[in-house]
Amino acid sequence: MSLRTRQIVGLACLLLLAAAMCLLRVLITRVDGGISLAWPEAGIAGFRLTALSVGAIVGCSLAVSGVLLQALLRNPLAEPFILGISSGAGLGVMAAMYLAYRLHGPGAGGEERLAPAIIGALITLAAVYALGQRRGWLDPVSLVLVGVIVSAICGAGIMFFQHLVDTGLRGQFTTWLMGYIPEAVDVWVLRLCAIIALIGLVVGGVMGRAMDAATLGDDEARSVGLSIGPLRVAMFGLAGVLAASTVALAGPIGFVGLIAPHLARLVLGPKHAALVVGAALCGIAITVGADVARQAVDVGAGRMPIGIFTAIIGGPAFIWLLLSGRGQS
């Protein structure tokens, strides 16, 4: 099978998988003692379609962000959550939520999350990038370690803000921090995040060849004609904004940015133009699929955070990548 045929067939399969998960998300309903599949009533359908849109946007953005980071850092373990970008965005959002709480009282939810999330994500990304270098070279292991440490520092900041608010609001903060697909979102936020996801997808696809060349060392990438410096800054910025938009919508959701590119690679191969699209479809399938699983599993009180499901799949996948050697750059 030629590479092109493999890519077309692979993309069609991933599209079917993502579509199936999206359909399930709309149809699945928890009933007494089990689940049923049926088209929801008009009132409920709107909520489900909003949750589906959020899940699809979050999955697509996290996956594309993961592909960009893995290509530009030459590190297959890179993803927004592991590199601390999600935590940085989370800290930005928490700071904004706390500020809203202080200024307007306990009722204020800090709805303006997108801007603080983007600022937090970009500052974290710049810090991890700067600290992950050794003698001017990006060291893959240092990068992951720095990401973990920066993530821990941001986590401490998040806990600090949690500590400062009332107990009731603290619970709301905690739920959001575990990854939560909402069924009601401001339309303009949803549209803006959808536009960011679309830009990420299109730019990622168009820059596929450049990302292929970026997998060479810096000197070699430059010698085959790639302006690696400007590309890296632009793609990192895009990856940071993509990750930040997901945090603003659904809180920090881990591992989707790691698993989706690797799954797409298994199906489509390593060329980035197809990989970006395939990873986006995988990201949608995983995130919406996790939301379906959350709907299906009835444990504890209220809705389970989606981050639990992505971490259950993503944690072992990360260890497998590390031990199998696929995580080596």
Q: What residue ranges bind other proteins (CB under 8 A)?
A: 71, 74-76, 209, 212-213, 215-220, 222-228, 265, 269-272, 329
Rounded Cα gap, residues 204 and 202, in angstroms: 5
Rounded Cα gap, residues 92 and 117, in angstroms: 5
C-beta of 222 vs 303, nearer to other proteins: 222
The beta-carbon contacts of 111-116 under 8 Å, at least 24 apart in sequence, are 111/186, 111/189, 113/189, 113/247, 113/248, 114/189, 114/192, 114/193, 114/244, 114/245, 114/248, 116/92
Q: At its nearest, how many Å lie between other proteins and the CB of residue 161?
A: 37
C-beta of 19 vs 216, nearer to other proteins: 216
C-beta of 51 vs 77, nearer to other proteins: 77
Q: At its nearest, how many Å lie between other proteins and the CB of residue 217?
A: 6
Strand ranges (E), 160-220:
none
Q: At its nearest, how many Å lie between other proteins and the CB of residue 240?
A: 20
Q: What is the CA radius of gyration of the chain?
A: 19
C-beta of 182 vs 269, nearer to other proteins: 269
C-beta of 183 vs 218, nearer to other proteins: 218
Q: At its nearest, how many Å lie between other proteins and the CB of residue 271?
A: 7
**Phi and psi angles of residue 119, each rounded to the nearest 5 degrees, phi first:** -60, -50
Q: At its nearest, how many Å lie between other proteins and the CB of residue 138?
A: 11
β-bridge pairing 137-138 and 133-134: antiparallel
Q: At its nearest, how many Å lie between other proteins and the CB of residue 123?
A: 26
C-beta of 235 vs 244, nearer to other proteins: 235
The tokens for 124 are 């974290």
